Amino acid sequence: MANDGIDLGRRGFLTGRRPSRPEAIRPPWSRAASVAAACTGCGTCVPACPQNIIVLDNDGRPALSFGAGECTFCGACAETCPEPVFDRSIAAFPHIAAIGADCFARRDIVCQSCGDACLETAIRFRPRLGGPALPEIASDRCNGCGACIAACPAQAIAVGARPSEAAHA
Ligand code: SF4
Ligand code: SF4
Ligand code: SF4
């Protein structure tokens, strides 16, 4: 799977509406507001990530590239950051996975790669007549790790706001 770098818009890493400039996915336990307020752009978190999924966006601030892999919640980014960007007392991510119209199963091609990749068993496949079972995200189980995003051969998975955090996004 290709590393999408900081081209966060091409694969639709969006939260709901399509803004003119795509919103970056911030590292776990950080939010857009805390990054804007406290991140100096030092880049310390980038090499600290063992998954190599932290990149700097066009403003020199950290963003996640889930196309390169998933977050394991190891905490290295939060631990290494010298500024008050991270808050380990909040939920790691304000998002959950969202499956789009490009999903192979929705186009009658059998595929369950996302379900195989999800350690949280947050993706269930609903049987249907006349076509492959369709994946569905269980919002109460999805931790937003992004493993399914990297695994999807159709690049059909993005992130969407977690219902309980939508007001704080
Ligand atoms: S928690 Fe670990 S795997 Fe996740 S973004 Fe931070 S350093 Fe990378
Ligand atoms: S991996 Fe992608 S294409 Fe396959 S079922 Fe999941 S969302 Fe659809
Ligand atoms: S983001 Fe992680 S927990 Fe959520 S459905 Fe995808 S693989 Fe499962």
Q: Model confidence at 164, in pLDDT bands (50, 70, 90)?
A: confident
* pLDDT per residue as tens digits for the range 84-111: 999 999 999 999 999 999 999 999 999 9
Question: Is 25 a pocket residue for ligand 1 (Cβ < 6 Å)?
Answer: no
pLDDT of residue 18: 46
pLDDT of residue 12: 44
How many domains is the chain partitioned into structurally? 1
Over residues 18-28, the mean pLDDT reads 76
pLDDT of residue 169: 46
Judged against a pLDDT cut of 80, whether residue 11 lies above it is answered with: no
Is 117 within the bounds of a domain? Answer: yes
Among 132, 147, 169, which residue's Cα sits nearest to residue 97? 147
CATH code at 131?
3.30.70.3270
115 CA closest ligand 2 atom index: 6
**pTM of the shown model:** 0.85
Is 25 within the bounds of a domain? Answer: no
Among 116, 45, 36, 101, which residue's Cα sits nearest to residue 78? 45
> Which one has a higher pLDDT value, 46 or 67?
46
Judged against a pLDDT cut of 90, whether residue 13 lies above it is answered with: no
Question: Is 38 a pocket residue for ligand 1 (Cβ < 6 Å)?
Answer: no
> Which one has a higher pLDDT value, 18 or 117?
117
Q: Model confidence at 165, in pLDDT bands (50, 70, 90)?
A: low
Is 139 within the bounds of a domain? Answer: yes
* pLDDT per residue as tens digits for the range 125-140: 999 999 999 999 999 9
Is 113 within the bounds of a domain? Answer: yes
Q: Whose CA is nearest to atom 6 of ligand 2?
A: 114
Q: Whose CA is nearest to atom 4 of ligand 3?
A: 142
Q: Ligand 2 center to residue 34 CA distance, Å? A: 33
Is 27 within the bounds of a domain? Answer: no
- Could you say which ligand is closest to the alpha carbon of residue 74? 1
Judged against a pLDDT cut of 70, whether residue 75 lies above it is answered with: yes
Given CA atoms 119, 147, 69, 24 in this order, what sign does their dihedral have? negative
Percent of the chain with pLDDT over 90: 80
- Structural domain of residue 131, as residue ranges? 95-168
Q: Whose CA is nearest to atom 6 of ligand 3?
A: 148
